[in-house]
Homo-oligomer: A and B are copies of this chain.
Amino acid sequence: MSKKSHIKSKIGKPPGTLLYLGNKAIKDSKVTLTVYDEDIFEVHEINSFNNLKELLSKTKEESVKWINIIGVKDIEFLKLLGEHFKISNLILEDVLNSYQRPKIEINHDFLFVVTKRPYYNNDDYSIEHNSYIMNDRLLISIQDAENDFYKDITERIKNGLNVFRKMKTDYLLYVLLDLSVDNYLLVFEEFQEKSEALEEKLIYEPVKEDLSSIQELKKTVQAIRQSLWPTREILNSLVRRESNFISEGAVVYFRDTLDHQLQLNDTLEASREMVSSLMEIYLSSINNKMNEVMKVLTIIATIFIPLTFIAGLYGMNFEFMPELKWHWGYPLTLLVMFLITLILIIYFKKKDWM
């Protein structure tokens, strides 16, 4: 379904209508439950909501419970989850809407965060839509993707006896957000490689199709900006501890992530400028090439037109043209032609045209 038909299908619907909006064809969804505290560490694969409910009922209240949903195919599951934990439908709507911009929403019961994870998928810039719903002991993460991007974190929890397993959901949220923010670094690196390769090409061999490539890069930068900028607001809110679920000890970590975000903003600004100068380079380069074409034409024309004139002169059929009768007429003419050519070549060399 195109974005436009998505929009149309939503307009006029009451708020909180649950529909998946996005262009990812998620074939399957996978849910895991990770339960941990200083003593316990368990990972469960969940295959039904009842299964989850049963497992949750067995865990200690103080343990951190992390429900990680990869792919959001199963809207029913989400609805049941929402009802069970009393999550508002407006929140679930944003979870399912992959066009939703990054945001933070704080209420009495939950802290709700939406972020984007950018990546390059075979040269195409893509964006993953990630949502986090958390309270003191529970964090639900929803990834709009087929593969579990968080799979390495389980290991870190398992081994994180000093910090990770002593802290609550706020540290887990930090780790997940930090991973997402760090991904921008990789994306920017790849973007800059592309951009510099194109720049090089534009200077030395611009073609018509490069205009499309420039526009492509421009749109990528815009897309990065649209997902990166609101992240700052989110991190600021976390650092200011606007939600009760962020402990004082976690602030230093979120501040670190905010720090990375600021650096990313600098990089974004630099990328924007670089891309916007590509068009100027293209135009200059095209005119440069035209200049070269013109020089070739001018050199050829300037050398041969006078020679052709001389040849034409002695091709005239006047009866009285004494030169025609001279024995050395022809060789002399050739000599003159040669000298003219020589002088013009020297002139062009001096003008740096050849």
Residues of A within 8 A of B (CB): 3-4, 7-8, 10-12, 14-15, 88, 90, 99-101, 103, 152-153, 156, 160, 163-164, 178-179, 182-183, 185-186, 189-190, 199, 203-205, 208-209, 211-212, 215, 218-219, 222, 226, 252-253, 256, 259, 262-263, 266, 270, 273-274, 277, 279-291, 293-298, 300-302, 304-309, 311-321, 323-330, 333, 352-353
Contacts and interface: CB of A to CB of B under 8 A. Distances in A.
A349 to B, nearest CB: 14
B199 A204 contact: no
Contacts of A309: 304, 307-308, 311
Contact of A333 (B88, B285, B307, B318): B318
A10 B285 CA distance: 39
Stoichiometry, as copies per complex, reads: 5
Contacts of A8: 186
A218 B321 contact: no
B302 A296 contact: yes
A314 B316 contact: yes
Given A280-B280, A297-B298, A318-B326, 14 more contacts: A12-B179, A204-B208, A211-B285, A218-B274, A222-B273, A293-B294, A297-B297, A297-B302, A300-B301, A300-B306, A312-B315, A319-B324, A319-B325, A321-B330
B279 A279 contact: no
A266 B294 CA distance: 43
Contacts of A259: 101, 103
Interface of A is mostly: helix
A246 B215 CA distance: 45
A13 to B, nearest CB: 9
Nearest to A93: B256
Contact of A317 (B189, B305, B308, B324): B324
Contacts of A305: 300-301, 304-305, 308
B314 A318 contact: yes
A284 B281 contact: no
Given A203-B211, A208-B204, A14 B156 contact: yes
B189 A7 contact: yes
A-B pairs with the 9 shortest C-beta distances?
Answer: A311-B312, A314-B316, A297-B298, A315-B315, A318-B330, A4-B189, A304-B305, A11-B182, A308-B309
Nearest to A152: B12
Contacts of A311: 309, 312-313, 315-316
Contacts of A160: 14
23 contacts: A3-B189, A4-B186, A4-B189, A11-B182, A99-B263, A101-B262, A204-B208, A222-B270, A222-B273, A282-B284, A289-B291, A290-B291, A293-B298, A294-B297, A294-B298, A312-B312, A312-B315, A315-B317, A318-B323, A318-B326, A319-B325, A320-B326, A320-B327
B325 A330 contact: no
Given A101-B263, A266-B226, A300 B300 contact: no
Contact of A352 (B15, B182, B205, B295): B205
Contact of A290 (B211, B212, B294): B294
A277 B63 CA distance: 54
Contacts of A270: 219, 222, 226
B11 A183 contact: yes
B318 A316 contact: no
